[in-house]
Amino acid sequence: MHDEQCSLYLERFIHAAIFAAQPDVMAVVHAHAEDTLPFGVTHGTKLRPVIHLGSFTGAEVPVWDIAGKFGDTSLLVTNMDQANDLAQCLAGNSVALMRGHGFAAAARTLIEVVRLAVYLPRNARALMRATQLGGEIKYLSQGEIEAHNRGYSPHSAATWRAWEYWANRAGCGHLLTLFGPFASLRQLSGADRSAAGSFPGRAPWALRSAADALRIATGPTVSAGDKSQPSTLTTAASICASHRGAAVANAR
């Protein structure tokens, strides 16, 4: 960030504005997942959860249209004014679509925001196909959304399985074993300890804080903004490598 020879990534504005607007947010993903794009350019069908794992997006995903305030642009977010406008649209939600561009998602931990980035396109795909079948769409009710989200545990075996799978797919699975179990176990509650015991040699508790998650994300094989691997997962993992404070301070 401090190397003047190094050109900064344009996406820094998006990350910085969201971090600045929401103090509890510790991880941000911006991606261009194709399955979400149609829902950003039509008023006909809102992107709402139709599958259980889609509940993480909330009842309805808002759409941020850069043209609303800034007129004709390249559709890219190229300054803090635009990014702040996007952050305002995102406020109170976990994710916002960006018309004709992609989406921005925010969460308190890296694992939560990666989960969002994975299931948002999957939910969009299911909704798109259901729309093609015709008939009335049965969305998740507010009660179902809340019930499913209540049942989510960031330290559960199911969560760890998914995290391990995503890390392997993103090419950084080996980083999951970086943490010494004995050092970390000392800081665990009883429940966490028993969860950790289900994974001998692994360190699911390493994901307990955003700081720990960031250590995973900033490993040697995950380079910030690596555009050579354009999958959503890789994009998610790499962009989250931005340190929260540094991202805000260096964006301007």
Cβ atoms of 59 and 66 within 8 Å: the answer is: no
DSSP 8-state assignment for residue 167: H
144 given a catalytic annotation: no
Distance CA 252, CA 250 (A): 6
Which 3 state secondary structure label does DSSP give 27? strand
DSSP β-bridge partners for residue 31 = 103
Q: How many CA atoms lie within 13 A of 117 on its CB side?
A: 31
What per-residue string of b and e applies to 142-176 under the rule 16 or more CB within 10 Å gives b?
A: eeebeebeeeeebbeeebbebbeebbeebbbeebb
Cβ atoms of 15 and 26 within 8 Å: the answer is: no
Sign of CA dihedral 88, 66, 62, 11: negative
User: Which residues does 6 contact at the CB level (< 8 Å), separation at least 6?
Assistant: none
Which of the residues 4, 11, 34, 112 is marked catalytic?
A: 11
Q: What token pair was written down for 51?
A: 């599958």
The helix (H) or strand (E) run that includes residue 120 is helix 110-133
Q: What token pair was written down for 75?
A: 């559709």
User: Which residues does 192 contact at the CB level (< 8 Å), separation at least 6?
Assistant: 155, 205, 208
Q: Which residues are catalytic?
A: 11
